[in-house]
Amino acid sequence: MTSLTYQTLDKDVRQLQQSDVAAFAAQIGGGVLGAADAAYDEARKVWNGTVDRRPALIARCMKDSDVQAAVRFAAAHKMLLSVRGGGHHIAGNAVAEGGLVIDLSGMRTVSVDAAKRMARVAAGALLGDFDREAQVHGLATPLGINSTTGVAGLTLGGGFGWLTRRYGLTIDNLLRATVVIADGTERVASPTSEPELFWALRGGGGNFGVATSFEFQLHPVGPELYSGLVVYPFAQAQQVLRAWRDFTTAAPDELSVWTVMRKAPPLPFLPESVHGTEVVILPLVYSGDVEAGERAAAPVLQFGDPLGTALGPTPYAGFQSAFDPLLAPGSRNYWKSNNFSSLSDEALDLVIDSVRRLPGPACEIFIAQLGGAMARVKPEDTAFVGRDARYIMNVHGRWSDPGEDERVRAWAREVFQDAAPHATGGGYVNFLTEDEAERVAGSYGANYARLQAVKRQFDPGNLFRMNLNIEPAGAPQSP
């Protein structure tokens, strides 16, 4: 073979000479994979099993200069480009069909400065990598709830989890980031260096370049926190959810209580007769003193008649991975999400009714409690604008049989549409799927025009378009 077929940014098909590919591969520390390489199929897999794309090349970057070389190569050939960190985003934008994947998964270093309470995290690191290193020193920053999620993608979209009510979003704890922009040069973005780029990175996704490392503020957390699960029978769902909503409106910032409605997994503290039946699960975490947490969470046990509880002092890093078995890679996934500033009785009732129609045993609806520190940041201070979201609902379709694709997706879309009149109309870009491009502008609200201006400054040709895309100001709108 003397040439390689690839897809351009404009979806044309062109050829690369093998000599050009070989010269490019020599610049990349981890080498470059093509379809004929044994490691190719594994390298192109991502978390969502519905994504089955075949890139022309996968550049396995090991350092910043590798990323710079890859960006310049893609730009020179007008090659469709994607960036893979943890590969966890629901839309699967980490893999460019027929294009070039910049694979950062080999860049997983986490360095903690305990005295300054700061961490420097490379772009391929996973949440578990970050938590493990920070918890050695009894420190943490707000992250997500699945340890296999990539730090980079989570951060660039905003990032929320168990610590958000006390310490804000992940982006609220970002101190600076190193970014390779579209011309292949490297910039350091912080409040004093490239401040507009720094503003845009905090919630604007991967639209402005390839972030190769991040520095975060850390906080004293754990190493043990009062946390765990309270499980109620689904027959009591209306009573429990209304009590949960009323309780969470006045809960202290240290306490986060979410709700998950699904068929019960075989948890050891639940009766076997309950396994596989619909239940209401209330996961909770108190980010302060363990005894204070037990007192603060005590009312959660009084919402109804629990089927089982598993509460107590738990290693923070351990609870961060507690849901990993339910979110393991490889299954087929489709999500729809809504933001809520409040939850009316009617909104809760329609969610309950939707759970009665779960299309499969791994499907679920969860509602995350937010507010607290996150809500005290002004919407214009970061690209992330949804500070009014006191709750985020994720309708999580998860299944294994491709023959079930349309049925599960139809259920998720129906729940989303039914809930929309009660929602804010905003969205969380980390939860948007590949068919929700029309929601991008609405997810940024009044910040969207400013994001377009930053995009024009740092990526005027829209090289970084394999994402929830923000087109440069003045660019013709895509059909």
**Are 446 and 380 contacting, i.e. CB atoms less than 8 angstroms apart?**
yes
Does the domain at residues 110-220 carry the CATH identifier 3.30.465.10? yes
Round to whole Å and give the CA distance between 169 and 290.
23
Q: Tell me the DSSP string of 366-413.
A: EEEE--GGGGGS-GGGSS---TT-SEEEEEEEEES-GGGHHHHHHHHH
pLDDT computed for residue 326 by the predictor: 83
pLDDT computed for residue 476 by the predictor: 54
Contacts of 22 (CB under 8 A, 6+ apart): none
pLDDT computed for residue 475 by the predictor: 66
Identify the segments of the chain with pLDDT beneath 70.
Answer: 1, 475-479
Round to whole Å and give the CA distance between 404 and 360.
9
pLDDT computed for residue 479 by the predictor: 42
User: What residues does each domain of the chain span?
Assistant: 3-103, 110-220, 224-437
Q: What is the three-class DSSP state of 422?
A: helix
Sheet containing 100-103: give its strands across.
32-33, 57-60, 100-103, 81-84
Round to whole Å and give the CA distance between 182 and 166.
36
Contacts of 438 (CB under 8 A, 6+ apart): none
Round to whole Å and give the CA distance between 283 and 318.
14
pLDDT computed for residue 217 by the predictor: 98
Angle between helices 345-355 and 237-248 (to 10 degrees): 140
CATH code of domain 3-103: 3.30.43.10
pLDDT computed for residue 435 by the predictor: 87
Does the domain at residues 224-437 carry the CATH identifier 3.40.50.300? no
